[in-house]
C-alpha cells in the first residue's frame, strides 16, 4: 500500500472514529461519562435539547372558561394547600414539562407521552428552586429531564439524577391525579386549568402520538420486557413503598366490583381507590393520606422495576 493510500485510510478511520468516541459520552450537549445508568441505553428521542419547549410561565383559567376541554380529556390534577390546578395531557403531549409554583411551593409537572407517565415533583432542593427543561434524551423510552441550574440529567420514572453535579440526588414525588377533566372538575369545582395560551404555536387538539397508545409497538427499545400477557400500553398504578414495588393494572381493577379495597405493599397496608368511569386510581395510607403513585404504561413500569409485584383480581 502506498504511503498516500495508507495516510488516506488512517485519516478516514480517524474521521469516522472520532465522532463515535465524542458522541459516546456527549449527547445533546450533556456529558454522560460516569452516568449511573448504562450510557449505551441513553438514546436521542429526535428533538435537540429544548426542542420540546417546557412551559416556564404558565397561565391559568377558571374551569367555567375552559371551553377547549371535553369532559373525557385527560388531565394531571394537583392540589397544594387547598389550591387545585389541572394540566391537560393534550398540552403536556407537546411540552412535557411545566415549571410552576403554588403558595410559594415550587414544583414541576412532567409527562412522558412514550411511557404515559405523569409525575409531579417538588422542585426546591437545598433552598434552591430547580428549573427543568426537556433534554431530548431517553432512558428506557422515558424522558430525561435536565435542570437548568446544573445541567444534571434526571430520569423521570426513577425520580433521580443520573448524571451531572446532582447525580444520585432524588426528587420528592407529590401526589397527583391522572384522571378525566370531568372527574377532576367535579371533585374540585374551584380548580383552575392550564391555559392553551402558552406562548407557543401548537395545535393542542391534535396529538403528535396518534395511535401510539393502542399499538403494541414501542418507538424505542427498553432493557427489560415483561413475560406477562398484558398489552404493553395497559395502564397500571405503580406504587413504591420502602423499596417494594407493586403494580395495579387497570385490566385487573376493571374486574373489581368495589370502588376501593385494602391491600399490602410489602408490609405496609394501603387502600386502593378505583374509578371505572374515569379509568383512574390512587392509593391512601392508613391515615387516609394520598400516597405518591404513578399511572403509566405497563411496559414502562416493568422496564424500570422488573422485580415488581403485580396485583391480580381474586
Judging by DSSP bridges, how do beta strands 117-122 and 124-125 pair with one another? unpaired
pLDDT of residue 188: 98
pLDDT of residue 24: 65
Grid coordinates given for 12: 478516514
What sign for the dihedral angle of Cα 147, 85, 275, 217?
A: negative
Per-residue pLDDT of the chain (314 residues; tens, 9 = 90+): 443 443 433 334 333 333 433 446 899 999 999 999 999 999 999 999 999 999 999 999 999 999 999 999 999 999 999 999 999 999 999 999 999 999 999 999 999 999 999 999 999 998 899 999 999 999 999 999 999 999 999 999 999 999 999 999 999 999 999 999 999 999 999 999 999 999 999 999 999 999 999 999 999 999 999 999 999 999 999 999 999 999 999 999 999 888 999 999 999 999 999 999 999 999 999 999 999 999 999 999 999 999 999 999 98
Residues 171, 169, 154, CA angle at the centre, nearest 5°? 65
Spatial contact of 297 and 116, defined as CB atoms under 8 Å apart: yes
pLDDT of residue 16: 38
For the entire predicted model, the pTM comes to 0.91
- Assign a CATH topology to domain 42-194: Rieske Iron-sulfur Protein (2.102.10)
Compute the distance between CA of residue 138 and CA of residue 156 in angstroms, rounded to an integer.
10
| Domain residue spans of the chain | 42-194, 235-310
CB burial of residue 197 (10 Å; 0-12, 13-18, 19+): exposed
pLDDT of residue 257: 86
pLDDT of residue 6: 35
Beta bridge partner(s), residue 108: 99, 121
Amino acid at each position: 500500500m502506498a504511503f498516500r493510500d495508507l495516510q488516506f485510510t488512517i485519516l478516514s478511520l480517524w474521521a469516522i472514529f472520532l465522532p463515535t468516541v465524542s458522541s459516546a459520552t456527549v449527547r445533546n450537549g450533556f456529558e454522560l461519562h460516569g452516568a449511573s445508568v448504562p450510557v449505551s441505553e441513553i438514546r436521542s428521542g429526535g428533538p435537540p435539547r429544548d426542542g420540546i419547549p417546557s412551559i416556564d410561565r404558565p397561565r391559568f383559567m377558571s374551569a367555567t372558561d375552559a371551553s377547549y376541554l371535553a369532559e373525557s380529556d385527560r388531565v394531571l390534577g394537583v392540589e397544594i394547600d387547598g389550591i387545585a390546578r389541572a394540566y391537560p395531557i393534550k398540552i403536556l403531549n407537546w411540552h412535557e414539562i411545566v415549571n410552576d409554583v403554588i403558595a410559594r411551593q415550587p414544583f414541576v409537572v412532567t409527562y412522558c407521552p412514550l411511557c404515559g407517565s405523569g409525575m409531579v415533583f417538588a422542585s426546591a432542593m437545598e433552598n434552591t428552586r430547580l428549573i427543568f427543561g426537556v433534554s431530548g434524551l431517553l432512558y428506557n423510552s422515558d424522558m430525561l429531564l435536565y435542570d437548568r441550574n446544573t445541567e444534571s440529567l434526571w430520569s423521570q420514572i426513577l425520580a433521580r439524577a443520573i448524571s451531572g453535579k446532582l447525580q444520585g440526588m432524588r426528587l420528592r414525588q407529590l401526589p397527583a391525579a391522572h384522571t378525566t377533566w370531568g372527574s377532576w372538575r367535579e371533585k374540585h369545582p374551584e380548580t383552575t386549568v392550564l391555559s392553551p395560551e402558552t406562548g407557543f404555536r401548537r395545535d393542542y387538539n391534535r396529538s403528535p402520538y396518534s395511535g401510539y397508545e393502542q399499538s403494541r409497538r414501542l418507538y424505542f427499545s427498553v432493557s427489560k420486557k415483561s413475560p406477562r400477557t398484558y398489552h404493553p400500553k395497559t395502564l397500571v398504578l405503580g406504587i413504591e413503598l420502602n423499596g417494594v414495588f407493586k403494580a395495579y393494572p387497570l385490566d385487573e381493577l376493571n374486574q373489581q366490583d368495589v370502588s376501593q379495597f385494602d391491600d399490602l405493599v410489602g408490609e405496609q397496608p394501603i387502600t386502593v381507590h378505583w374509578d371505572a368511569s374515569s379509568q383512574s386510581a390512587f392509593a391512601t395510607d392508613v391515615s387516609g393520606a394520598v400516597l405518591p403513585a404513578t399511572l403509566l404504561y405497563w411496559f414502562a413500569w416493568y422496564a424500570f422495576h422488573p422485580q415488581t409485584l403485580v396485583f391480580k383480581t381474586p
